[in-house]
């Protein structure tokens, strides 16, 4: 298996095989994440993470199969705080057929390495409160919950 940044000729496949399915899963898990009808083209575009200096996406590829991705961005610390930037993971997804094989760990390790390359002091991620497997995964990597984000429908 290879963990790497995507090639431009893979962008459509990444959108169709990884990004969009991950967004659909999130929408099914919580009505708060329901997708807008016209969201597909803009939101599920890998260039959102490949065209910036402070964004990144890595894919896991095995035998030309796209198995998963991790995406994220740099979040600068406000001037009030004595800390450097945070590498914030905004997406981690592994296809059902490739789960429980260490792919998420390999992807996240590469994301963590990118954070170090970008001189970040911290890693951050948001996990849905009901996503027990994801919460256990991040716990196993040494993450500690620091905030809750309550929401209610108006």
The reported pTM is 0.85
Tens digit of each residue's pLDDT, the chain (154 residues): 999 999 999 988 988 888 888 877 776 666 666 655 665 556 666 676 677 789 999 999 999 899 999 999 998 876 666 677 899 999 999 998 888 999 999 999 999 999 999 999 999 998 888 888 999 999 999 999 888 888 787 8
Buried b (16+ CB within 10 A) or exposed e, 12-40: ebbbebbbbebbeebeeeeeeeeeeeeee
- Structural domain boundaries in the chain: 2-140
CATH topology of domain 2-140: Aminopeptidase (3.40.630)
Decide if 62 contacts 102 (C-beta within 8 A).
no
């Amino acid at each position: 298996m290879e963990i790497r940044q995507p090639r431009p000729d893979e962008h459509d496949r990444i959108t169709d095989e990884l990004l969009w399915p991950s967004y659909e899963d999130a929408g099914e898990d919580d009505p708060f994440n329901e997708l807008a009808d016209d969201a597909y083209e803009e939101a599920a575009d890998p260039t959102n993470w490949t065209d910036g200096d402070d964004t990144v996406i890595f894919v896991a590829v095995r035998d030309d199969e796209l198995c998963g991705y991790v995406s994220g961005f740099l979040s600068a610390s406000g001037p009030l705080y004595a800390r450097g930037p945070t590498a914030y993971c905004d997406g981690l997804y592994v296809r059902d057929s490739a789960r429980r094989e260490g792919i998420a760990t390999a992807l996240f390790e590469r994301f963590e390495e990118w954070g170090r390359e970008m001189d970040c002091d911290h890693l951050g991620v948001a996990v849905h409160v009901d996503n027990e497997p994801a919460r256990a995964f991040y716990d196993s990597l040494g993450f500690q919950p620091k905030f809750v984000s309550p929401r209610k429908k108006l």
